[in-house]
Each structure stands twice: as C-alpha cells, then as structure tokens.
C-alpha cells in the first residue's frame, strides 16, 4: 500500500480548520497532519511536520496566504492548493498566487461559513492528489508584471486570421498560458480560442490579467465575437464555446449544453467545432491538465487535415490531457512549453501566402469534413 498523502490545512477560521480535515478524512489515502491559523504558524508547521501538500487560505491576519506562499516557495517549495473565498479581490490574489507557484485552486462555496463543504469534498480531494503527483515538477517561469505591458498594444486593423488556433488546458494552465502568450508578438496574424477549465466567475478576471501581461488583445469570449488576427478569446466558466463561419465573419458562439467529459467548458466541444468549420486550416493545441478532455477533439482536427500539437509531458504540471492524445496517436507534434510560442509564431504569425489563400478559398467550397455538432 502506498504512503498516505500528508496534508497541512491553513485557514484563519476555526470552523474551517475542523471541517476541512473532516471532509479529507473520507479518503483513506489522505492524512491531515496538522492545521495552522495563519501564514506565520503555517511556516513553523511545515518545518515541523514536513507535509506533502498544503491547502492555503489567502485572506488571513498577521501573515496572509500570498506572503506565506512566497516564503514557502523560497525556503522549501512544496505543492500548494489554494482554498479561499471567491471575491473580486480574492480572485486577483488567486492568480497572483498561481503565478507564485501554487499548483491549483478551489473557491470555497458561498455557504462554507454555514459548514456546508460536502459539495466540493470530492473536488478538493482530487486536487490534493493531483498536487501530490505534481511535486517536483518545474513550473513555467512566472510572468509577473505590476504594470501593464509597455508600450501597450497599439490599435490594429480588424483583419481575418491566418489560422484559428484552439487551445485546451486545465490544471497548471494559468501559468502555462500566461507564459505562452507572453512569447507571442502583437502583430501575430492568427487568432486563439482557449478553453481553460476554470470555475464560473474567474475567467473574466483571468482574461484581464492575461491582457495586461501580453502583447495580444485578450478578452473573455461572448457569442458573436469575431475571430480576428491578434485576438485571444477565453471561454467563460460554465459555458461551452464553438466556432462558426458566418456571412459577416468567422465568430465564436457560446452554449449551455451539458458537460462533456465532466467539464463545461470542454476542450472537446471547441476542437470538434474547429475541425468541422476549418478542416485543413484548423490548429489544435492540448496543454497541461488532468484527465482526457480534448483528446478525441484533437483526433477530429487531425482527421480533418489540420495541425495538432501536444505540450510535452515533462513540461506539464499534470500531463493527463496531452498524454491521452499522444497515446492515441492524435498529436502531429509534441512540443515543450518553452518552444510552443516560437513554433506558433514561425508557422502562423506571418501574412498568409497566395497559395494558402487559394487553398482556403477552395476549402470553403468543399463539404464540411464532419457533421458533428456539440
């Protein structure tokens, strides 16, 4: 039998310091070895107890979670799962903490103060197990800027993209995506549509943070948003996103369809629509994440003649999603995170040549490669 995962629970609420260990006790592979009421106590308990994983509240007196995380990562890095209240300020702090090295996050339920944590028990347990497996994985370099990118992106003409690049990403995604986008210049000639597994209410702030940290224009997607060169559209939490070719231009469409692979948004939904609508000119990228969402959709893009890319497993925080596609033979290329931006820019960053324009026009007159509709 494998050793149990030793967890330290850090939260300023005495109630939470009782309830969190109680729900974690449901899983026999997890052992809560201690609790701490703030960051200062947490640092002492980490040195004393040597836990495998820390669950960390962010809003605490004396030493808050951000400062504690900075010191944890500086002294003796170990996997941290953020478990904190969802608020506008809390959301900003969450992304700051992910950039500092936290593996993942889970917002507390709105009724947590009333002692109701049952609804998130399984998800918290799963994230702790993933965090333990991610121990020792090298995170992408943090792209942390207190000020917006300078010079800020100049206004550019609304041009159709050379390629539509669909990205599916999950655990470890905020850092990886921020690093990737920081490598792409403002004059990039393609568009990116991103499914990041993230709870409702976080994606708008996530998109704004990415917009501040890269040269591209990043927005949370809305139905009817046009696919334009140099634009990045992030699917809202708890929605699906698809692409459609319409008379007034290629665009994204959001839906409230049922979860796919347990996820909404689902990378498979996006990938299948990109395969159907763009076929030979579609590009699919599957990055760090737990599970297998996106693998079959990537296979659909490959079958349609498009380019499929998987992030190399050794550069993923969690390699489940790209690994699932690689094992099925769906990835045309396997590229490490630090080479992915360079590849996309070299292949899809310049103006399309006349031959590509002819191919695209010719393809527009063909029958769609698939009748799949998510």
CB-based burial label for 210 (10 Å; 0-12, 13-18, 19+): buried
Instruction: Indicate which residue of 38, 104, 211, 293 is catalytic.
Output: 293
**Is 170 in the active site?**
yes
3-state secondary structure of 141: coil
Residues 6 or more apart in contact with residue 101 via CB below 8 angstroms: 69, 73, 77, 80, 139, 142
User: What's the CA gap between 139 and 288, in Å, rounded?
Assistant: 11
Residues 304, 276: contact at Cβ < 8 Å?
yes
**Is 197 in the active site?**
yes
User: What's the CA gap between 57 and 352, in Å, rounded?
Assistant: 48
> Which DSSP symbol is given to 226?
B
User: What's the CA gap between 299 and 7, in Å, rounded?
Assistant: 38
* Structure token pair of residue 143: 């792209």
User: What's the CA gap between 207 and 171, in Å, rounded?
Assistant: 16
Point out which residues pair with 84 in neighbouring strands.
Answer: 107
Instruction: Indicate which residue of 84, 93, 170, 266 is catalytic.
Output: 170
Closest CA to 289 of 136, 211, 175, 142: 175
Residues 6 or more apart in contact with residue 3 via CB below 8 angstroms: none
Instruction: Indicate which residue of 197, 240, 263, 272 is catalytic.
Output: 197
What DSSP string describes 250-290? EEEEEE-PPPBTTBSS-HHHHHHHHHHHHGGGEEEEE-S-S
- Which whole-number Å values give the CA distances from 309 to 107, 143, 251, 260, 332, in the listed order? 31, 23, 23, 21, 6
Closest CA to 234 of 267, 256, 260, 282: 267
* Structure token pair of residue 134: 């991610």
Closest CA to 368 of 268, 284, 272: 272
> Which DSSP symbol is given to 184?
S
Q: Which residues are catalytic?
A: 170, 197, 293
């Amino acid at each position: 039998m494998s050793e149990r995962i030793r967890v330290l629970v850090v939260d300023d609420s005495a109630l939470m310091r009782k309830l969190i260990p109680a729900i974690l006790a449901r899983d026999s592979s997890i052992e809560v070895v201690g609790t701490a009421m703030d960051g200062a106590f947490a640092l002492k308990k980490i040195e004393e107890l040597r836990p495998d994983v820390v669950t960390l509240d962010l809003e605490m007196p004396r030493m808050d979670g951000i400062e504690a995380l900075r010191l944890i990562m500086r002294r003796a890095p170990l996997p941290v799962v953020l478990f904190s209240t969802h608020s506008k300020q809390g959301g900003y702090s969450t992304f700051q903490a992910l950039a500092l090295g936290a593996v993942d996050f889970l917002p507390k339920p709105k009724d947590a103060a009333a002692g109701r944590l049952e609804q998130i028990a399984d998800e918290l347990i799963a994230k702790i197990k993933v965090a333990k497996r991610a121990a020792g994985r090298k995170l992408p370099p943090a792209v942390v800027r207190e000020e917006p990118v300078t010079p800020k992106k100049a206004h550019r003409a609304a041009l159709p993209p050379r390629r539509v690049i669909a990205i599916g990403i999950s655990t470890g995604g905020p850092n990886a995506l921020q690093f990737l986008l920081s490598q792409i210049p403002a004059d990039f000639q393609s568009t990116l549509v991103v499914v990041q597994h993230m709870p409702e209410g976080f994606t708008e702030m996530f998109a704004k943070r990415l917009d501040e940290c890269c040269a591209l224009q990043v927005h949370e997607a809305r139905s009817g948003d046009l696919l334009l060169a140099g634009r990045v559209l992030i699917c809202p939490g708890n929605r699906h996103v698809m692409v459609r070719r319409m008379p007034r231009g290629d665009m994204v469409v959001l839906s409230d369809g049922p979860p796919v692979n347990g996820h909404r948004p689902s990378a498979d939904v996006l990938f299948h629509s990109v395969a159907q609508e763009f076929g030979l000119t579609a590009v699919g990228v599957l990055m760090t994440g737990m599970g297998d969402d996106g693998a079959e959709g990537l296979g659909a893009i490959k079958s349609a003649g498009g380019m499929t890319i998987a992030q190399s497993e050794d550069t993923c925080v969690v390699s489940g999603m790209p690994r699932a596609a690689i094992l099925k033979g769906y990835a045309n290329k396997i590229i490490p995170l630090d080479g992915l931006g360079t590849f996309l820019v070299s292949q899809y960053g310049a103006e399309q040549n006349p031959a590509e324009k002819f191919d695209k026009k010719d393809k527009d007159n063909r029958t769609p490669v698939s009748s799949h509709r998510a």
